[in-house]
Amino acid sequence: MSGKLNTKKYVVGVDLGGTTVSIALFNRNLDMKKHVVVPTEAAKGIDYILTKISKCISGLIEEEQIIKSDLSGIGFGSPGPLNTDKGIVFSSPNLKGWKNVPVKKLMEKKTGIPVYLENDANAAALGEWRKGSGKGVKNMLFVTLGTGVGGGLVLNGRLFHGKNDAAGEIGHVVLFPDGIKCNCGNHGCIEMYSSATGIVRRTKEALKTGIKSTLSQHDANFTSKDVHQAALKRDKLACRIMEDTGKYLGIVFSSISHLLDLDMIVIGGNVSNAGKMLLDPIRKEFLLRTMYPARNVKIAKASLGPDAGVIGAACTVLERLGK
């Protein structure tokens, strides 16, 4: 029995977010065995967070009645920018005080287990590719539509990092060169139009012009989900906003497909819960604009839901070990 236990058949995934940390234990097939979600409490400092994560990992190991040496490693997904080789998080807008944090070194010291750092969107891309909608394809773009628009690329069957671990920033692909200013300084980035924030902004702007909509009865803080719900009830403005959201993505996907000749584009994040209402206009616009053979790309909804991050973080361990 102990021989079996020593074959390193477990992997840990950590998905660090601004609000919560998701930590899970997986077997070698990446089936989730144990899972815990705890508040980040970023204000309490870096050591506090990392100690808490370390304790959670110890807890999961104990619960599963295994020993540390049964683990191949800990995959640690974090917002970036970061350096995967050195295991350092340079900074993170949602984690106050995080500046050049040597996460790999600190976590390895605390846990005694090898740690592999990865950008959170890249980790989610890996998750969808190894266990989700993109399973088995060679070239895949993963796009996450949330507060912003992020993503990751799997090219030739490996996560593609680029020169500085910064590849996959699809949110800052330009949709309208003379469009509105993005937080990044650029103008007309797709993130300003097809993120949850972009959906709400465009809806509010339309309401200001006096267009009739059930959404005008909402308080000022309605969300992109409210727009989706209104569209389901055939609210004209909401339908147009959702259709344009897809159309804008279809334009950007066409450009990327001509550039990269992908097998698949996988769409995740909260906004993707709109499903067909979003995917149909994406596909329509994409096909109008894309030549053969790039037009043959499959466009699908992500299938791992909010667990993509933690599953992907665990996948990072296998990816780095070349498995």
Confirm if 114 and 108 have CB atoms less than 8 A apart: yes
Does 233 bind a copy of itself (CB under 8 A)? Our answer is no
Which position has the token pair 């992020």?
150
Q: Dig out the tokens for 10 from the structure.
A: 């477990």
Contacting a copy of itself within 157-176 (CB under 8 A):
158, 160-176
Q: Is the dihedral of CA 247, 252, 255, 256 positive or negative?
A: negative
Alpha helices, DSSP H, located in 24-168 = 46-63, 103-111, 120-130
Closest separation between CB of residue 127 and a copy of itself, Å?
A: 20
CA 161: distance to chain centroid?
Answer: 15
| Piece in contact with a copy of itself (CB under 8 A), picked from 20-28, 150-158, 209-217, 301-309 | 150-158
- By rule CB under 8 A, what count of residues binds a copy of itself? 49
Using CB under 8 A, which of the segments 22-30, 256-264, 274-282, 304-312 binds a copy of itself? 256-264
Spacing of C-alpha 299 from chain mean position: 16
Q: For residues 140, 142, 143 and 148, what is the CA-based torsion angle, rounded to 10 degrees?
A: -140
CB of 149 to a copy of itself, least distance (A): 11
DSSP state of 119: E
Question: Is residue 156 near a copy of itself by the rule CB under 8 A?
Answer: yes
Nearer to a copy of itself, 23 or 189 (CB): 189
Nearer CB in complex with a copy of itself: 101/170: 170
Neighbour count for residue 276 (Cβ, 10 Å)? 10
Q: Does 319 bind a copy of itself (CB under 8 A)?
A: no
- 121 near a copy of itself, rule: CB under 8 A: no
Q: Which is nearer to a copy of itself, 173 or 318 (CB)?
A: 173
Q: Supply 55's token pair.
A: 């304790």
Map the footprint of a copy of itself across residues 43-102, applying CB under 8 A. 81
Contact residue for a copy of itself among 153, 215, 241, 315 (CB under 8 A): 153
* 138 near a copy of itself, rule: CB under 8 A: yes
3-state SS class at 30: coil
DSSP string covering 200-252: HHHHHHHHHTT---GGGGS-TT--HHHHHHHHHTT-HHHHHHHHHHHHHHHHH
Q: Which stretch binds a copy of itself (CB under 8 A): 33-41, 92-100, 216-224, 294-302?
A: 294-302
Closest CA to 298 of 244, 249, 253: 253
CB of 150 to a copy of itself, least distance (A): 11
Point out which residues bind a copy of itself (CB under 8 A).
81, 138-139, 153, 155-156, 158, 160-177, 184-187, 251-252, 254-256, 258-263, 288-294, 296-297
